[in-house]
Amino acid sequence: MHLEIRTISESEVGPFWAAMATGFLNPIGDKDAEARRDGTHLDRTYGAFDGSRIVSTLRSFPTDLTLPGGTTVAASAVTAVTTTATHRRRGLATRMVHQDLAASVERGEPVSVLIAAEWPIYGRFGYGAATEHQILTVDTRTARLRDRPQGTVEFVDRDFARDLMPTLYERHRQVSPGEIRRPERFWNVDYGLKRIPSWGEPKPAFHVVARDPAGEVVGAARYVVEGRWTDRQPDGTVEPQAMFTTGPLGDALLWDHLISLDMINTIKAIDRPVDDVLPWLLFDARHAKASGRFDFLWVRVLDVAALLGARRYGAEGQLVLDVVDTDGYTGGRFALDGGPDGATCTPTTATADLTIGVSALGAVCLGGHPVRTLAAAGLVDEHTPNAVARATRMFAGERAPWCSTWF
């Protein structure tokens, strides 16, 4: 049976979100339709219709993706990809992904990004795992900072924090490859000003602001506390939910604050960058235990020349890349001439130095994985001597790409 796939109308917003909830096995997600209406871009929200019933969903929203060197490109953020259990493995998600990718190309978005529920789903569509994150667990009974930072940390109320955090995030985002521009409604949900009913009540949080000795804001954090006593000893856990700073002083002040909390034995910091400064701030770096390191943001390159021409490179160099995109959205042979100050990337007929699939290009484009590693895994072919080494130096970023936003 051929099921129609099309963008939804205003009256189908409710059924769309209910179908997505069923696809994600959330039995009460139909309660969320009203709360989700704001931010549902009808022209990029798709449903597969079995009669009048939506049985498969996908939506995207416009954003910007930060690249190495602190430049940005327009990106399509894809989310809510589901097929109802009764309609799986009939190609519905495949059709919707392609419809959305074609629409992105039409709109001139050089990349599409998403968070993959499972690794095997999106490589076939040309997405590559570009960023990673990790969990840092700190035993605060033993951990100490090497140096006590100069400055102050104060508690603020939620509304003050809600107003401040987006400004700090924007500053952070503009220099942090892998980050995306966040819609306003994300902040309202994070700060409990907007509720998604099926998620339940958000846990009340503390909000703190770090200032330098002159009183300038250098960072802010939101954290929740799980109080516990074991054998009459304090055994609480603190979980930072968000922490953004303007630089090293803010990082040191906020970590110092969390480590110094009485009644807390453990900091559990999830979704942290893989090059987090925390271990290096500590007297003993092993007191920040890393775990749960996994892929996070996946990138689908849709315009090789626009993307590679927009980022900055770790070393000056030239490369001719054969980019293989069997779906035909982009791909071909490109001459890349790039360095720390800028780059050009243009179609060429010159002999290729490297052949790389579009999914592997997505994986290396933010500098999160060495080209050398993907070549060793058979995902990049070298045609001229040392081209892999040159590409590895060029594509390396000055910091590990990190996306701190779930969407």
Ligand X SMILES: CC(=O)SCCNC(=O)CCNC(=O)[C@H](O)C(C)(C)COP(=O)(O)OP(=O)(O)OC[C@H]1O[C@@H](n2cnc3c(N)ncnc32)[C@H](O)[C@@H]1OP(=O)(O)O
Q: Which residues of the chain form contacts with ligand X (CB under 6 A)? A: 23-24, 56, 78-83, 88-94, 114-118, 120-121
Nearer to ligand X, 114 or 400 (CB): 114
Nearer to ligand X, 104 or 140 (CB): 104
Distance of closest approach, residue 109 Cβ to ligand X, in angstroms:
16
d(CA 169, CA 316): 30
Nearer to ligand X, 4 or 118 (CB): 118
Distance of closest approach, residue 120 Cβ to ligand X, in angstroms:
4
Distance of closest approach, residue 199 Cβ to ligand X, in angstroms:
16
d(CA 389, CA 387): 5
Spatial contact of 92 and 55, defined as CB atoms under 8 Å apart: yes
**What single-letter DSSP state applies at residue 256?**
H
90 is in an annotated binding site: yes
Distance of closest approach, residue 298 Cβ to ligand X, in angstroms:
8
92 is in an annotated binding site: yes
181 is in an annotated binding site: no
Spatial contact of 323 and 331, defined as CB atoms under 8 Å apart: yes
- E-only strand ranges, 97-194: 111-115, 127-129, 132-139, 152-155
Q: Enumerate the active-site residues.
A: 122, 407
36 is in an annotated binding site: no
Least Cα distance to 261 among 226, 217, 290, 289 occurs for 226
Nearer to ligand X, 96 or 356 (CB): 96
Tokens representing residue 131 in the block:
């960023």
Least Cα distance to 405 among 121, 120, 173 occurs for 173
290 is in an annotated binding site: no
Least Cα distance to 42 among 59, 29, 30, 19 occurs for 59
Tokens representing residue 111 in the block:
């990349």
**Binding-site residues:** 89-94
**Binding-site residues for acetyl-CoA:** 89-94
